[in-house]
Structure 1
Amino acid sequence: MKFTASLLAAGLAAAGMAGQATAQDVDNLSVAYEEGGRYYTEDDVPTYNIGEDGTVDWLTYSGFRRYHSECHVCHGPEGEGSSYAPALKTSAIDMDYYDFLDVVTNGRKVVNAASHNVMPAFGDNPNVMCYIDDIYVYLKARGADVLPRGRPGQREDKSDDIRAAEEACLGL
């Protein structure tokens, strides 16, 4: 599939190196550079960009929409968690980006005496995988407490690069 090959091949291949550092070891929030409407940290990990006036970058805005179409049923509104599944807004801060991709793509099962948690695999769902970075940066902004609950009011326009990547991923 186009989205697993294009999004995850390089990312998961780099996971061995990236997974050695924890979120506490690196700044996984601050924008180091922008490329085609996407914002990245020094370690080339996607991140959010929120202006002083509250304007959010396109991926954060799109991530709000995608999260609430695919993830909130289990993980609660705005990444706050529920009685069924944990809060994801903290996962995007505390979990390595490549580990986050791996869990969303392949799922995870944690069964022990205290809990029985099953995260289904979304690797074949283009409504998740084509927008995984969008969801991730939205959750990072929520976890960093820089994005309030609710639909973002102001947003940047979708760049041509983001539009082209979306169309390619969806096969349009």
Structure 2
Amino acid sequence: MGIYPDCPAITRTIEVGGLTSLQLRLKLQQQSILLNEYAQVLLSDEDFTTSNIKYILKTVDLRVTDLGFPNGATLPQIFDRAIKLGLELCPIELGPHLRLMYLDQPEGHRERLSQQHTAPSGSITIASNVVKEDDLFPKGFYLSNINGVLWLRGYTADNQHIWNPCDHFIFCQTMNLY
């Protein structure tokens, strides 16, 4: 196995924008997608911005090890390496849009569902700029399927937290307005 782009990766093309935060929350509710408290905080924060204009994002789903970190890495290390490899951080609004599109996400393995301070097995974290530089404020979103229930969840982590090599992140490859 190599380092991106010489490794297996899942790419997706996603339409983003054109919906307000309230409209996104209503669509999530209509699809029976659950939100944790951190996701609710992010979606209702005044700094959570959405684009009035629809645009297309091409994303790539990579493991931490695919970025060259076989022993895991911190969020700043992960983001810095991805940028050096030609990837971009995603807009924060990608989280709810991707959750609405990715309705067939496989369920994670139960042994990692309840481990505190780790991403649940099968979850995908959206690599995005943080809304607020506060370790107690949610950093961003991740998607999970727990016991057959789809979730859009927010998460907190400080810059010293080591993410596991098998943790998945979504990065952007290109952004195109239309």
After TM superposition, the score normalised by the length of structure 2 is 0.27
After TM superposition, the score normalised by the length of structure 1 is 0.27
Structure with a larger share of its residues in helix:
1
